[in-house]
Amino acid sequence: MPLHSARAQTAAQPRLPTTDLRAGMHTIKAELALTPEQQATGMMFRKEMNGNEGMLFVNDDKSQRCFWMKNTLVPLSIAFIADDGTIVNIADMKPLDERSHCAKAPVRFALEMPQGWFDKRGIKAGFKLAGKPFAAAK
């Protein structure tokens, strides 16, 4: 969940519309968190996250994005992503941890996946993801 959003919440948000992203031969079904409310809630209170499912946070402007895990029950890995789909950096986040995890450069996108998803596939900073959100950002 984005660090700047500390709104009180007690229930998981309904599933959001999705888009397909590609990481090499892997397809990611990413829910789109587009509004401030959707981004404030993020993955909070969800009890599971399936294999190739994630949540893509999409913003209108580039900035120093930071996330935390307040009220988030599942371990996540987050990739901070440049406009062209290139991963800037990846961080692992522990459930219920309120420490911030920040992008190493201003970005518009952040992708949360089950913890270890990127590592298990050898995906690191510099890897380029493909998908409609990145093509539209150019």
Max CA separation in the chain (angstroms): 39
Q: What average pLDDT does this structure show over 9-16? A: 81
Dist. CA 127–CA 138, nearest whole Å: 17
The pLDDT tens digits of the residues spanning 28-76 come to: 999 999 999 999 999 999 999 888 999 999 999 999 999 999 999 999 9
Q: What residue type is 27 in one-letter code? A: T
Q: Which domains does the chain have, with CATH numbers?
A: 18-136 (2.60.120.1140)
Mean pLDDT lowest among 8-17, 56-65, 82-91, 95-104:
8-17
**What pTM was estimated for this model as a whole?**
0.91
Dist. CA 138–CA 135, nearest whole Å: 6
124, 90 Cβ separation under 8 angstroms: yes
